[in-house]
Amino acid sequence: MALVAPAPIKTCSFELRRAESRRDWSEVRALRDRALARRHDLPEDAERFADDGYDGALNTVTFLLTRDGRSAGCTRSSVSSPNRRYPLPAMETFHREIEEAAGWEATLVESSLTFLDPDLTGDTRDALFRLFKGQMLRCASEGAHWLIAAVPEAQVGFHRRMFNMEILSGSERCPGLVLPRVLMGLDFRREAPVLFRRIPALAVEMPG
């Protein structure tokens, strides 16, 4: 399936779109670096997040969220299916856990490098929901069985409560980052309808 970005989501002053232009990518990278630096998640000898090689991969898109034309958040979405078993960022650290939880017959979407502008004001959950909606749209368009994400330990509880994601691993260090990550997963076809009833703003049309 062709990698197609969802139509922009516009409500109030927010807009979610696929990062494509040079300016978009400049904003994405600057936002990643600010967010990582603010929570002390970069190695001491690094001024910015090192390119991990996944941004330009054929199976990957990155979404940029703006508010009033200024960057507010970003998230990266990568897909791997039985027909095209592309590597995913989390496979470098959690290969065994992914196999045990989902198996290699499943279509996987990974959410990675999800950040909000550390200086974003107002209800930041609204912005986070919009980023997660991008991942829901990707899961639906790709017919995904699982959405996975390697999240910092401090965010595990939030992802469990808010997004119905389950813990799939212990804490591990991931390349290029300081804070340990925990692999979490959403059994998309089973849990997404439950999630959509609880948070209608995340709802998308489910694959047949």
- CATH code for the domain of 139: 3.40.630.30
Does 86 reside within a domain?
Answer: yes
Question: Is residue 35, in this structure, part of any structural domain at all?
Answer: yes
Q: Is residue 2 part of a domain?
A: no
Residues 110-153: tens digit of each pLDDT: 999 999 999 998 878 899 999 999 999 999 999 999 999 999 99
The range of the structural domain enclosing residue 106 comes to 9-202
Contacts for 79 with CB less than 8 Å, ≥ 6 apart: 3, 59, 60, 86, 107, 108, 109, 110, 138, 142, 144
Examine residue 4 and state whether it is found in any structural domain, yes or no: no
> Which pLDDT value is given to residue 206?
85
Instruction: Give the amino acid at 79.
Output: V
Q: Does residue 47 fall inside a structural domain?
A: yes
Q: What is the mean pLDDT of the chain?
A: 92
Reported as a single tens digit per residue, the pLDDT across 58-91 is: 999 999 999 988 999 999 999 999 999 999 999 9
3-state secondary structure of 8: coil
pLDDT for 38 equals: 93
Closest CA to 137 of 18, 37, 30: 18
Instruction: Quote the strand ranges of 85-195, DSSP E.
Output: 108-116, 146-152, 166-172, 181-187
Residue 95 and residue 89: Cα distance in Å, rounded? 10
The Cα–Cα gap between 41 and 97 comes to: 23
Cα 120 versus chain centre, distance: 18
- 202 or 48, higher pLDDT: 202
Domain count, the chain: 1
3-state secondary structure of 84: coil
Say if 164 falls within a structural domain: yes
The pLDDT, as a whole number, for residue 207 is: 75
Assess if residue 1 is contained within a domain: no
CA distances from 19 to 1, 42, 94, 105, 149 (A): 19, 23, 27, 30, 20
Asked whether residue 126 is assigned to any structural domain, the reply reads: yes
By DSSP bridging, strand 108-116 and strand 70-80 are antiparallel
Q: What residues contact residue 113 under an 8 Å CB cut-off, 6+ apart?
A: 32, 49, 62, 74, 75, 76
Residue 105's SS3 state is coil
Task: Please write the tens of the pLDDT for every residue from 3-24.
Answer: 555 555 445 589 999 999 999 9
pTM, entire model: 0.90
* Per-residue pLDDT at 1 exceeds 80: no
